[in-house]
Homo-oligomer: A and B are copies of this chain.
Amino acid sequence: MEAAKDANLQLNYYQKEDQVLLAVDCIIFGFDKEDLKILLVKRNLEPEKGKWSLIGGFLKKNENLDQAAVRVLKTLTGLSDIYMEQLHTYSNVDRDPGQRTISVAYYALIDVNAHRFGDIQMDSANWFDVKKAPHLIFDHNEMVQKAIARLRRRALTKPIGFELLPEKFTMRQLQTLYESILDKKLDKRNFINKINSLDVLVKLNEKDMTVSRKGSYLYVFDKEKYEKKVEEDGFNFKI
């Protein structure tokens, strides 16, 4: 009894600490066969109502942050089963002028064309080229920049594309994806050699005939080999 009372007394120190609001904000990357894009929404609440914003929401009592990020994404876009990764936690005292809110940023990768959006009203949401993103509320531009840097680093050390490309794609589309992530032109022959050395692609006996008269072979990722490469220590995709 004494011990339990002691413990209770000591637990009171939790009560003296400042509590804060915790939010998640999602940087949603998409690829439309040409450009790397992010999904933004028009904020419908003060402060900064009517400005472009990342998709976000507050953490609830009965969920962890990963679950909150999945819920926010699903509620606003209808998307589920999406690749998401925690990026960074933003905590400057005045970052949200409404009330002090700490925000945990997540980034997600999706194939723009494979998804139909749910609840989101698409007149208040839009895909933007990452290089032409508008001024966003709070510190959301900073979050986007960090997400791009993370995605770039990931592309340099792990295979990427599985989540961003359609199931079947041409070598040219894969190169364009890498070029848009790394934001530079790549030499075609070097790129093909590098990708082939990763040994994560399966060449299909099938062509995309829309691109040229000769057509371009289609590829799929070998999911097992791809996952194995992602798990490994990493490589250096210097091109």
Interface set of A (CB-CB < 8 Å, partner B): 6-7, 10-11, 13-15, 17-22, 45-47, 49, 58-66, 86, 88-89, 91-93, 98-102, 104, 152-153, 156-157, 233-236, 238
Contacts and interface: CB of A to CB of B under 8 A. Distances in A.
Nearest to A99: B14
Contact of A234 (B58, B86, B156): B156
15 contacts: A7-B46, A7-B47, A7-B49, A10-B46, A11-B46, A11-B99, A15-B99, A18-B60, A19-B21, A64-B91, A86-B88, A91-B104, A152-B233, A156-B234, A236-B238
Contact of A19 (B20, B153, B234): B20
B102 A157 contact: no
Nearest to A20: B22
A154 to B, nearest CB: 11
User: Taking the full assembly, how many copies of this chain does it contain?
Assistant: 2
Contacts of A7: 46-47, 49
The 3 closest A-B CB pairs, nearest first, are A236-B236, A19-B19, A65-B91
Given A20-B22, A22-B22, A234-B156, A62 B99 contact: no
A59 B11 contact: no
Given A21-B19, A91-B59, A156 B104 contact: no
A17 B238 CA distance: 46
A236 to B, nearest CB: 3
A46 B98 contact: no
